[in-house]
Amino acid sequence: MVEEVPCSELFCIFCCPPCPRSVASKLGFRPPNPTYSIEPDTEAAKESSSVGTGAVQGAAGIDARWKLHLNENAFFQYGQRELDAIDVFMTENSRGNRIGCMFIHCIPEARFTILFSHGNGEDLGLVSSFYIYLSKNINCNIFSYDYSGYGVSTGKPSEKNVYADIDAAWHALRTRYGISPENIILYGQSIGSVPTVDLASRYDCAAVVLHSPLSSGLRVPFPDIKKTYCCDSFANIDKVSKITSPVLIIHGTSDEVIHISQGVALYDRCTNSLEPLWVKGGGHNDIAFYSRYIRRLRRLISVDLKR
């Protein structure tokens, strides 16, 4: 029998100061110092207009051409060719925050595009090299965005904001690039599983990948909790059963941040689960280094989604 968490312990975690709305920021959000910047490229917009290509109107009120600048902390491991395959721009979410977006289109004829919600302590500059690596190895393009308060995105990180952030990214991917839902794979890593599950519970897509996901905020420090308390946040466990798209869960057996039991609990709640990947010995931040990781994603693309 699992013990209930003492009310006094819950109070210390979530109510000091006594403000349940701070739960999300206490447990989840640690934006790094920005590792990149983007700015409108007015010269490219003028050239595009002069040859009649008809650029898309951007959030800044000018033609949507932007320049990406990575600083030394971005650790970009590729060359100019890959850099040229990255589009960046700003969009706006429903809560008035401007959201930085990145589209890595290394694979011109790719059937699928991954809408990737990255983990904590990262921004688009830090994950851009990984996205290129992933794109080339599984033959998918990658679209990603920064949460409010991360990278160049304005506002502050919060649970409500991340839901608005992924909505803005979803609609930008569909309208700006014309990608249909049946060709979009939603991918959420760690804290990124929260907006991913929320969006997938409301929209159909090709598939959903949950990488080292949490079942709820309170279950991170207390993985044995069996019910969702009113002061809890990030309640993936209460939404995942509403996802009708195929769901692949990836979790390390030695995850030191989010216990694997949370991935298992989400898997048990899924109504359309695929064969999961439990990475023996895998931690929270090293699963991508295991060869099984890429093999399982390739099988998702080449086998699971061709049935």
Residue 278 has which token pair?
A: 């439990």
Please write the tens of the pLDDT for every residue from 233-266: 687 989 999 999 999 999 999 999 999 999 999 9
- What's the half-sphere exposure (Cβ side, CA atoms, 13 Å) at 249? 27
What is the average pLDDT across 25-40?
A: 83
What per-residue confidence (pLDDT) applies to 52?
Answer: 45
H or E element, residue 77 = none
Cα distances from 292 to residues 141, 206, 272, in angstroms, run 20, 22, 22
pTM of the model: 0.85
Rounded Cα–Cα distance for residues 299 and 37 (Å): 35
Of 41, 62, 70, nearest to 151 by C-alpha is: 70
What per-residue confidence (pLDDT) applies to 3?
Answer: 36
- Residue 255 a catalytic site member: yes
Please write the tens of the pLDDT for every residue from 92-150: 999 999 999 999 999 999 999 999 999 999 999 999 999 999 999 999 999 999 999 99
Rounded Cα–Cα distance for residues 266 and 236 (Å): 8
Catalytic choice (190, 193, 212, 215): 190
Catalytic choice (144, 245, 255, 259): 255
- What's the half-sphere exposure (Cβ side, CA atoms, 13 Å) at 204? 4
Written as one letter, the residue type at 56 is V
- What's the half-sphere exposure (Cβ side, CA atoms, 13 Å) at 49? 12
DSSP 155: S
Domains identified in the chain and CATH numbers? 8-306 (3.40.50.1820)
The secondary structure of 188-257 as a DSSP string is: EEGGGHHHHHHHHTTS--SEEEEES--S-STTTT-TT--S--TT----GGGTGGG--S-EEEEEETT-SS
Of 193, 191, 179, 187, nearest to 207 by C-alpha is: 187
- Residue 63 a catalytic site member: no
Rounded Cα–Cα distance for residues 231 and 134 (Å): 37
Please write the tens of the pLDDT for every residue from 270-279: 999 999 999 9
- What's the half-sphere exposure (Cβ side, CA atoms, 13 Å) at 255? 26
Is 101:113 a contact under the CB 8 Å cutoff?
no
> Does the structure show a pLDDT above 70 at 35?
yes
Residue 41 or 44, more confident = 41
Is 262:214 a contact under the CB 8 Å cutoff?
yes
Rounded Cα–Cα distance for residues 187 and 246 (Å): 12
What is the average pLDDT across 73-79?
A: 94
> Which residues does residue 38 pair with via DSSP β-bridges, in sequence order?
68
In this structure, the chain runs to a length of: 307
- Residue 190 a catalytic site member: yes
Rounded Cα–Cα distance for residues 219 and 261 (Å): 10
44 pLDDT band, cuts 50/70/90, is: low
Of 211, 198, 214, 30, nearest to 123 by C-alpha is: 30
SS3 (DSSP) at 281: coil
